[in-house]
Amino acid sequence: MVSEKANSGKILSKSHLQSIKEDKSFYVLKSLLESLKEKYKLNASEILSLAEEKTISEALIPISIFDNKELSCLEAIIKYLKEEFKSRYHEIALALNRDDRTVWATYHNALQKRKEKLPVKEPKFSIPVSILTDRKLSVLEAIVSYLKGNFNLRYSQIAVLLNRDERNIWSVYDRYRKKK
């Protein structure tokens, strides 16, 4: 049986490749690729790499990065975005709606407290960067309200996930409710 290797390293059979080529979606994709090639003078692999590229503002932050006592939530988030995404301070500042200097100082404070990378485990829960842009809320208020509102977690569960005291989580959520 003849087969070809796709970019992902997956081996596709000849019949599978044929069914993909006959799919209407493939025809539309091929037409779009041709249009983008002509318009922007790019090759197919450049276009596909752009499609796979995620912006930092679309990133999901795994809850496991908060599994430390030394860093504040903002420090952990900035350290994670800087080290895992190899982002510049300005990109992080735009994504978090913060000043570039704040991001720089926060990252350097985090490095003073913890030199090694943050533990990134398979996330049971993730937090989108976009929830952190509302400056009326503290970072912890935004995270707690997101976890409570979207996953309906109890204060004790959120406290364990964020490595914080349950009473603190209750106070943070109460402060959030008063603001909203």
- Give the 3-state secondary structure of 72-100: CHHHHHHHHHHHHCCCCHHHHHHHHCCCH
Q: For residues 84 and 69, state if they share a domain.
A: yes
For the four alpha carbons of 42, 43, 47 and 50, in that order, the dihedral sign comes to negative
Q: For residues 73 and 150, state if they share a domain.
A: yes
Please count the structural domains in the chain. 2
Q: For residues 60 and 134, state if they share a domain.
A: yes
Contacts of 17 (CB under 8 A, 6+ apart): 4
Q: For residues 15 and 99, state if they share a domain.
A: no
| pLDDT value for 3 | 47
Q: For residues 79 and 48, state if they share a domain.
A: no
Per-residue pLDDT of 52-62, as tens digits, reads 656 777 788 99
Q: For residues 36 and 93, state if they share a domain.
A: no
Distance of alpha carbon 149 from alpha carbon 114, whole angstroms: 31
Q: For residues 125 and 44, state if they share a domain.
A: no
pTM above 0.85, yes or no: no
| pLDDT value for 65 | 94
Q: For residues 96 and 48, state if they share a domain.
A: no
Q: Please list the pLDDT of the chain residue by residue as tens digits (180 residues).
A: 444 444 445 677 888 878 888 888 888 888 888 888 888 887 877 777 666 656 777 788 999 999 888 999 999 999 999 998 888 999 999 999 999 999 999 999 999 999 999 988 877 889 999 999 999 999 999 999 999 999 999 999 999 999 999 999 999 999 999 998
| pLDDT value for 114 | 94
Q: For residues 89 and 174, state if they share a domain.
A: yes
Q: For residues 28 and 74, state if they share a domain.
A: no
Q: For residues 47 and 68, state if they share a domain.
A: no
Q: For residues 77 and 92, state if they share a domain.
A: yes
Domain interval for residue 14? 3-52
